Amino acid sequence: MKNVVLLAVDGSEGSERALSHAMSRAKSGGAKVVVAYVIEWSPYSFNTPEENAERHNRRESEIERANSGVVVPAMAKLADAGIEAEGLVRHGKPAETLSAIAKEVGAAQIVIGRRGQSGVKALIFGSVAGNLVQTAPVPVVVVP
């Protein structure tokens, strides 16, 4: 395991607090921070070739918005603090995808805000943070 902190972001206030915590952790331990944004996406759909092309364009647009609106600003804050950072945007089920990223980058821990942008849906189906606590391959820090 490397000295890497995986920071899950979504642009919410909780994600900003998680960023602050990850910055403190990285500074004190000399860790690299991998900033990850997961766009919830289901591959299960029956589409025509035209719909698939449109879906591909929509995915590319979502990746660009997530990158420029959330990941790049977080990475800029980390860089300003002198912390090495890398950014990733992926499509998938958030908890599963973050766990896979943690394995991929050799993260020592995952940092996530307690409340993201999921709202009512999280009350019914459970939060990404709650799912990560139960399934992640590394310790999870949930920032209030």
The reported pTM is 0.86
Domains and CATH numbers, the chain: 4-143 (3.40.50.620)
Residue 40 to residues 17, 68, 84, 97, 129: CA-CA distances in angstroms? 22, 17, 27, 9, 14
In this prediction, residue 2 carries a pLDDT of 82
Q: What is the pLDDT of residues 43-69, one digit of tens each?
A: 656 667 777 778 778 888 999 999 999
Average pLDDT, rounded, for the chain: 87
pLDDT bin (cut points 50, 70, 90) of residue 116 is low
In this prediction, residue 1 carries a pLDDT of 58
Percent of the chain with pLDDT over 70: 86
CB 32, CB 5: distance < 8 Å? yes
Name the nearest CA neighbour of 112 among 139, 135, 140, 87.
Answer: 140
